[in-house]
A and B are shown apart, each in its own frame.
Chain A
């Protein structure tokens, strides 16, 4: 019974966490099994203290930062897509709501006339603007390129 008590304490004694009291100290000097256990525990303690410390690979920081950037970019993309979908859904709901309101109030018939009028104005406008269309297209492409470069630079400047 006393051996069990002493054996339970040998790790703590070997680590210096426990100083054996008189009874345990005496037992450890007289019981060969418990004394051997204490010797083993001390040997184990020494081995654990000098155990080699694994070092991270040389490129660890670079690889970790790259992974953090990728994760951040992915989460931003996810947020962007979510935001755009939400906005599109809201716009669709608003349009559907307005259309239903007009339908109920009988304004659709009136709005058909407005659409016809708007359509003929649009044709006239297209005839006037037609010749300058390549210029507008070039300006739009330039603006889109500038926005693309800005987005790319902004994405790379933050992590």
Chain B
């Protein structure tokens, strides 16, 4: 999104234009929902948290100074919301948990095959610490660069890369036998 358009959209939202805020939600909902759903792995909880993000965006818009890009500011809010949600007890899933095998396979799943391995990957990701889950979720979404993540998480670029590599190292160890 161009900086000029972004500023104009923010200004319209600040003036109380509901259409502008709806446009903002429509533009960012896919990204916000995908990030959160990949981090918390529970669709209804993810929807609640994604709505929380937009509620915070709405409240915070009058104070948004435009020093960072709107998307970066929104990532930061997503990160905060996910960190606050960390206090909730996570479901303790083993990689062989039968409850997790009931997901209906999508066409792309069938195309790439090996449903069970995908299932185990999701469960392995759920067992990562929340900061690792967030970087893994965000990095593999189209358009999210290391730099965006570093700015959103207020971490040096090198730390983000290190966290991502460590997260993948832990995943590889958890899935060692499956990946061979």
Query: Which residues of A are at the interface with B, using a C-beta cutoff of 8 A?
Result: 8, 11-12, 14-15, 17, 36-37, 39-41, 43-45, 47-57, 60-61, 63-65, 67-68, 71-72, 158-159
- Note all chain B residues with C-beta closer than 8 A to A63: 47, 51
Q: Is the beta-carbon distance between B16 and A54 smaller than 8 angstroms?
A: no
Instruction: State which of A45, A51, A159 has its C-beta within 8 Å of the C-beta of B21.
Output: A159
Interface centre among B38, B112, B172 (most CB of A within 10 A): B172
- Are B30 and A61 neighbours in the complex by a CB distance under 8 Å? no
Smallest Cβ distance from A42 to chain B, in angstroms? 9
**B102-118: which have CB < 8 Å to A?**
106, 108-109, 112, 117-118
Chain A nearest CB, measured from B5 CB (Å): 19
**CB < 8 Å neighbour of B29 from A43, A60, A67:** A60
Q: Which residues of A contact B161 (CB under 8 A)?
A: 12, 17
Stretch from B63-71, B73-81, B163-171 that touches the partner: B163-171
| Complexed CA–CA distance, A8 and B180 (Å) | 18
Contact of B18 with A64 in the complex, beta carbons under 8 Å: no
Q: Which residue of chain B is the closest to A9 with respect to CB atoms? A: B165
Neighbouring A residues of B33 by C-beta, 8 Å: 54-56, 60
Docked CA distance A50–B140 (Å): 9
- B169-A11 in contact (CB<8A): yes
| B141-180 contacts to A (CB < 8 Å) | 141, 161, 164-165, 168-169, 171-172, 175-176, 179-180
B140 touches A43 (CB 8 A): no
A155 to chain B, nearest CB (A): 13
Q: B55 to chain A: which residues have CB within 8 Å?
A: 64, 67-68, 71
A65 CA to B16 CA in the complex, in Å? Answer: 12
Given contact pairs A49-B140, A55-B33, A60-B29, A43 touches B50 in the complex (Cβ within 8 A): no
In the bound assembly, the distance between CA atoms of A68 and B109 in angstroms comes to: 36
In the complex, residue of chain B having the shortest beta-carbon distance to the beta carbon of A61: B25
Contact of B112 among A8, A50, A60 (CB under 8 A): A50
**Hey, which chain A residues are within 8 Å of B136, CB to CB?**
48
Q: Nearest-CB distance from A70 to chain B (Å)?
A: 10
Q: If A40-B176, A61-B25 touch, does A52 touch B121 (CB 8 Å cutoff)?
A: no
Establish whether residues A44 and B172, one from each chain, have CB atoms under 8 Å apart when the complex forms: yes
Known A54-B43, A60-B50; contact A47-B38, beta-carbon cutoff 8 A: no
Contact of A65 among B25, B164, B165 (CB under 8 A): B25
- A65 near B22 with CB under 8 A, answer yes
Q: Assess whether A51 is in contact with B121, with CB atoms less than 8 Å apart.
A: yes
Q: Which residues of B contact A60 (CB under 8 A)?
A: 25, 29, 33, 47, 50-51
Task: Known contacts A64-B25, A65-B22, A65-B25; decide if A36 and B172 are in contact (CB<8 Å).
Answer: no
- B120 CB to closest chain A CB (Å) equals 10
Establish whether residues B118 and A47, one from each chain, have CB atoms under 8 Å apart when the complex forms: yes
Q: Would you give the 0/1 interface string for B44-60, flagging 1 where the beta carbon is closer than 8 Å to chain A?
A: 00110011001100110
Which B-chain residue is minimally distant from A65 (CB atoms)? B22
Query: In the complex, A117 Cα to B27 Cα: how many Å?
Result: 71
